[in-house]
Amino acid sequence: MGALVRLDKYLADMGAGTRSEVKEYIRKGRITVGGKVVKQPDLKLDISQAEVYFDSRCIEYEALEYYMLNKPAGVVSATTDKHCKTVVELIETGKNKDLFPVGRLDKDTEGLLLITNDGDLAHRLLSPKKHVPKTYYAHIKGKVDEEDVIVFHSGIKLEDDFTTLPARLVIKKAGEVSEVEVTIYEGKFHQVKRMFEAVGKEVLYLKRLSMGDLVLDENLILGGYRKLTEEELNRLKG
């Protein structure tokens, strides 16, 4: 037997409406459980077995959800914002109203972002003690050379007296605008941009490719998302 949840909470948790709205739907006979109309909002359901329909739409209960998002520029890494669209608003198929982004990407940064409502997993991935690697692809104004590789590997002291852990810098193309991949092990505010500023260069474009064992699906268009596979989730939780 699975966990028991009130019918009104079950529906509200799965995004069918607010608690007061779903109570009204229930009273109007729009909800069936096991093929029978139910009008008791406080009916306790076994979430592992319940067959719940709202009108003709099946409402399956998912306590935890995990989405990989290819974040586009111009969208903020937040749950709500008065002025800009948020990454959570891009997850149109999300059932839970308590989804949030795991960590932040700057508004103008693209790439991998995990959206979930699993607070325990988020805490493990973001904990400073875990040193979860994050890899970015970047366009850099200025020629990146081997000296920069050495400096990044040695750790860079930023202006707030914070010194980064050794970072891995790989030069893909050197020139007036260089193309690089950089892996860092913290998640400080604007960290990659600040690290390149510290060596006299400027980040023109930034895209996150991976976070821990989670790698951006190259088939996801900007703004696209999908649920994590069981294998991806197991690796993250491993």
Among the three residues 41, 58, 75, which one is the final residue of a domain in this structure? 58
User: What percent of the chain is modeled with pLDDT above 90?
Assistant: 78
Domain interval for residue 104? 66-128+214-237
Long-range contacts of 25-31, Cβ-Cβ distance < 8 Å, separation of 24 or more:
25/54, 30/54, 30/55, 31/7
**Is 188 found in the same domain as 91?**
no
Query: Which pLDDT belongs to residue 96?
Result: 66
Active-site residue 145, yes or no?
A: no
- pLDDT recorded at residue 156: 96
Q: What is the CATH number of the domain that holds 30?
A: 3.10.290.10
Point out the domain boundary residue: 14, 40, 58: 58
| Same-domain check for residues 49 and 90 | no
Could you tell me if 115 and 148 lie in one domain? Answer: no
pLDDT at 210 over 90: yes
pLDDT band for 2, please (50, 70, 90 cuts). Answer: low
- What does the mean pLDDT of the chain come to? 93
| Same domain as 223, residue 108 | yes
Residues 122 and 232 in one domain: yes
Q: Are residues 72 and 39 in the same domain?
A: no
> Is the pLDDT assigned to residue 97 strictly greater than 80?
no
What's the pTM? 0.81
Q: Which of 13, 31, 58 is the last residue of a domain?
A: 58
Domain count, the chain: 3
> Do 98 and 121 fall into the same domain?
yes
Cα torsion 91, 94, 221, 121: sign: positive
Give me the catalytic one of 106, 108, 213, 217. Answer: 106
